[in-house]
C-alpha cells in the first residue's frame, strides 16, 4: 500500500474537516476511527429501540454548523444537506404555564419578553457575524471585526458572566431563557465561559440560520464530509483503535482529533517534556448523561409554543439552574438536573416511523457519574409537560461514565472535551501560540480540546490543517467548494 502523507486519528467533524482540507490539497490522507461508524459527535444511528427510528448519538442541533466559516466554504446545502430551521430556535418552560420563547424573529421575542425585551435585544440582538468571528476564532489571532461590535459582545459577557448578571433584568422569564443557553457550557453559574456560550448561541438563534436540525439527523453532515474525502482519494478505516504508536501507519504527519490525553498516551514519548507536561495538565470538565426516548406522540408541553422549538431547556428559574449546575460542580447530583431536550420531528417528519418518534435528552451530572438519570429526566420534563410518561414507549440511558464507550473524547462524560474555565477559554489546550502544534514537528491536535472549542463547526480541523499544509510547503489552503 502507498504510504500516507497524513494520518488523522478520529473521524469527528474536526478530524474529517482536517482530512478533507488536506486531501483537497493533494496529500494522501488516511483517517483511523476506533468505532465501527464514522462521525464522532455527529452520528445518527438505529439504536434498536423502535423499528425505523434513528437517534442522534451525540449532537443534534447545529447553530455552529450554519455559522462556521469552514462549512460555509464547504457549502453543505449544495451537497444535499438540508439544515431545517424551526420557527422557534429554543424555549424554556417555567411554572404556572409560562415559558420563555426564543423565536427566530428577534422583534417578536423582544415583544413577548415585555419589560425585559430591551435588555434581551442589547445582549443577543447584535451583529451575528461579529459574534462568530470573535467566538469561533483560534483565540490567538485578532479577528477582523467592528470594534464596537466586539466591545458590545465582550461587555455582555462580562455582565452575564459575573454576579452582575441580574442587574438589568426585572422579570424571571428572560433571565431563565438566557441561562438555559448558558448551561450548554456545563459549568458553574454565572461564569465567563457560560456567558460567552449564551451570547454566541443566543445571537445565532435570531440570525438567518437559527438553530438548524439536519434532515435525517446529524449523520447527514458526516456523510457529506466522507463523500468529499473519498472523492479526493482519502481512505477511512473504522474499528481501528489507536492506543500506542504501533497502531499508527508510518506517515509524515499525524493529526489527532482526540483529547490531549490520548495524544500523550500514544506519542507522548516523542513530544518534548515541557510541551508533553502542558498537554497532560489539560483539565476535563463535568459531564452529561444521555437519555434517548421513543415516543408515540409529541411531548405534551403545557405552553403550546414550547412544542414548536427544536430545542427545549428544562431547568426552571435562573436561580434553580444555578443551584443545579453548582451542585454538579461540587460533585453532587441535582434532584432536578439541568436537562437539554431536542425533538427533531418538530421540523423533520422523516424522523417519525410507524407512529414512533425520537426524543433526544442530555442531563448534567458530575464527571464519571454512573447514575441512570432516566427517572430524573422524566420527572423534570413532567413538571412542564404533564402526561409525558404516557407518551414514552421506551428509552435508553447512557450514564456519563459510559459515554466514552461511544466517543473516547468524552472523558468521564465531558461532552465538551475540556473544562469550560476562563483559563482554558483562552489557553486551550495549552498557552502555546500555535494551539494545534504538539511541540513536535509532524504531530498536531485538532479536536474540540483546541480552539474554538466544542460544537459541530469543523474549525479546529480546518485551522490545524492549514498549519499542517505548511510542513509540505503548501502556503495557500485549497478551495472547499463542491
DSSP state of 207: S
Query: Rg of the chain's alpha carbons, rounded to an integer?
Result: 21
d(C-alpha 142, C-alpha 426), whole Å: 12
d(C-alpha 33, C-alpha 192), whole Å: 34
Read off the C-alpha cell for 370.
454512573
d(C-alpha 429, C-alpha 448), whole Å: 9
d(C-alpha 103, C-alpha 117), whole Å: 13
Confidence of residue 141 (pLDDT cuts 50, 70, 90): confident
Residue 142, pLDDT score: 82
Largest CA distance in the chain: 67
Nearest in space to 259 (alpha carbons), one of 285, 225, 232, 290: 285
The DSSP line for 213-230 is EETT-THHHHHHHHHHHH
Name 162's Cβ contacts closer than 8 Å, sequence gap at least 6.
190, 192
Percent of the chain with pLDDT strictly greater than 90: 96
Read off the C-alpha cell for 350.
422523516
Q: What are phi and psi of 101, to 5 degrees?
A: -130, 120
DSSP state of 356: B
d(C-alpha 417, C-alpha 286), whole Å: 10
Residue 423, pLDDT score: 87
Residue 276, pLDDT score: 98
Nearest in space to 449 (alpha carbons), one of 409, 422, 413: 409
Residues 432-458: tens digit of each pLDDT: 999 999 999 999 999 999 999 999 999
Nearest in space to 392 (alpha carbons), one of 256, 299, 290, 270: 299
Q: Is 363:371 a contact under the CB 8 Å cutoff?
A: no
Q: Is 19:469 a contact under the CB 8 Å cutoff?
A: no
pTM recorded for the entire structure: 0.97
d(C-alpha 419, C-alpha 425), whole Å: 9
Confidence of residue 425 (pLDDT cuts 50, 70, 90): confident
Residues 77-100: tens digit of each pLDDT: 999 999 999 999 999 999 999 999
Residue carrying C-alpha cell 422569564: 173
Confidence of residue 2 (pLDDT cuts 50, 70, 90): confident
- Beta strands (DSSP E) in 309-391 are 309-314, 339-342, 357-365
Mean pLDDT of 27-54: 98
Q: Is 222:187 a contact under the CB 8 Å cutoff?
A: no
Residues 270-323: tens digit of each pLDDT: 999 999 999 999 999 999 999 999 999 999 999 999 999 999 999 999 999 999
Element (H, E) at 9: strand 6-9
Residue 412, pLDDT score: 98
Statement: residue 20 has pLDDT above 70:
yes
Percent of the chain with pLDDT strictly greater than 70: 100
Residue 324, pLDDT score: 98
Name 102's Cβ contacts closer than 8 Å, sequence gap at least 6.
88, 89, 90, 91, 109, 177, 202, 205, 206, 309
Mean pLDDT of 181-197: 97
Q: Is 435:138 a contact under the CB 8 Å cutoff?
A: yes
Nearest in space to 360 (alpha carbons), one of 77, 45, 39: 45
Q: Which residues pair with 168 in a beta bridge?
A: none
Nearest in space to 236 (alpha carbons), one of 84, 37, 387: 37
| Whole-number average pLDDT of the chain | 97
Confidence of residue 145 (pLDDT cuts 50, 70, 90): confident
Nearest in space to 370 (alpha carbons), one of 393, 348, 390, 398: 398
Q: Report H helices in 126-185.
A: 128-135, 147-160, 173-182
Statement: residue 1 has pLDDT above 70:
no
Task: Identify the three-state secondary structure at position 60.
Answer: coil
Residues 317-345: tens digit of each pLDDT: 999 999 999 999 999 999 999 999 999 99
Confidence of residue 426 (pLDDT cuts 50, 70, 90): confident
Task: Identify the three-state secondary structure at position 206.
Answer: coil
The DSSP line for 428-468 is SS-S-SSTTB-SSTTEEE-STTSTT-SSS--HHHHHHHHHH
- Beta strands (DSSP E) in 267-371 are 287-295, 309-314, 339-342, 357-365
Amino acid at each position: 500500500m502507498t504510504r500516507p502523507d497524513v494520518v488523522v486519528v478520529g473521524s469527528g467533524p474536526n478530524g474529517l474537516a482536517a482530512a478533507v482540507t488536506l486531501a483537497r490539497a493533494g496529500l494522501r490522507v488516511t483517517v483511523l476511527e476506533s468505532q465501527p461508524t464514522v462521525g464522532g459527535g455527529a452520528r445518527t444511528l438505529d439504536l434498536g429501540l423502535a423499528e425505523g427510528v434513528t437517534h442522534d448519538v451525540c449532537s443534534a442541533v447545529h447553530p455552529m454548523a450554519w455559522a462556521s466559516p469552514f462549512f460555509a466554504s464547504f457549502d453543505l446545502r449544495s451537497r444535499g444537506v438540508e439544515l431545517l430551521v424551526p420557527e422557534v430556535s429554543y424555549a424554556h418552560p417555567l411554572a404556572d404555564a409560562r415559558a420563555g420563547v426564543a423565536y427566530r424573529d428577534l422583534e417578536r421575542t423582544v415583544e413577548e419578553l415585555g419589560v425585559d425585551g430591551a435588555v434581551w435585544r442589547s445582549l443577543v440582538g447584535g451583529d451575528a457575524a461579529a459574534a462568530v468571528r470573535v467566538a469561533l476564532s483560534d483565540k490567538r489571532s485578532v479577528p477582523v471585526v467592528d470594534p464596537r461590535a466586539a466591545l458590545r459582545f465582550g461587555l455582555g459577557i462580562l455582565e452575564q458572566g459575573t454576579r452582575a448578571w441580574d442587574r438589568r433584568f426585572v422579570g424571571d422569564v428572560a433571565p431563565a431563557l438566557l441561562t438555559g443557553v448558558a448551561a450548554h457550557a456545563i459549568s458553574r453559574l454565572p461564569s465567563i465561559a457560560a456567558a460567552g456560550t449564551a451570547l454566541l448561541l443566543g445571537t445565532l438563534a435570531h440570525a438567518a440560520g437559527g438553530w438548524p436540525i439536519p434532515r435525517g439527523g446529524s449523520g447527514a453532515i458526516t456523510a457529506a464530509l466522507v463523500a468529499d474525502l473519498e472523492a479526493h482519494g482519502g481512505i477511512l478505516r473504522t474499528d481501528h483503535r489507536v492506543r500506542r504508536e504501533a497502531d499508527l501507519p508510518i506517515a509524515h504527519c499525524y493529526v489527532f482529533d482526540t483529547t490531549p490525553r490520548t495524544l500523550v498516551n500514544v506519542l507522548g514519548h516523542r513530544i518534548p517534556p515541557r510541551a508533553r507536561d502542558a498537554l497532560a495538565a489539560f483539565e476535563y470538565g463535568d459531564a452529561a448523561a444521555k437519555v434517548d426516548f421513543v415516543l408515540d406522540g409529541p411531548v405534551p408541553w403545557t405552553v403550546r409554543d414550547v412544542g414548536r422549538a427544536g430545542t427545549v431547556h428544562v431547568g426552571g428559574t435562573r436561580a434553580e439552574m444555578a443551584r443545579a449546575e453548582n451542585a454538579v460542580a461540587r460533585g453532587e447530583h441535582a434532584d432536578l438536573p439541568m436537562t437539554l431536550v431536542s425533538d427533531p420531528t418538530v421540523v423533520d417528519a422523516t424522523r417519525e416511523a410507524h407512529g414512533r418518534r425520537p426524543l433526544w435528552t442530555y442531563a448534567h451530572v458530575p464527571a464519571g457519574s454512573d447514575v441512570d438519570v432516566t427517572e430524573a429526566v422524566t420527572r423534570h420534563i413532567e413538571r412542564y409537560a404533564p402526561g409525558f410518561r404516557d407518551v414514552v414507549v421506551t428509552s435508553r440511558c447512557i450514564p456519563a461514565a459510559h459515554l466514552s464507550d461511544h466517543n473516547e473524547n468524552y472523558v468521564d462524560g465531558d461532552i465538551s472535551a475540556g473544562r469550560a474555565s476562563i483559563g482554558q477559554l483562552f489557553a486551550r489546550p495549552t498557552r502555546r501560540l500555535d494551539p494545534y502544534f504538539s511541540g513536535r514537528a509532524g504531530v498536531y491536535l485538532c479536536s474540540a480540546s483546541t480552539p474554538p472549542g466544542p460544537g459541530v463547526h469543523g474549525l479546529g480541523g480546518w485551522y490545524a490543517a492549514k498549519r499542517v499544509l505548511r510542513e509540505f510547503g503548501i502556503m495557500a489552503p485549497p478551495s472547499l467548494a463542491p
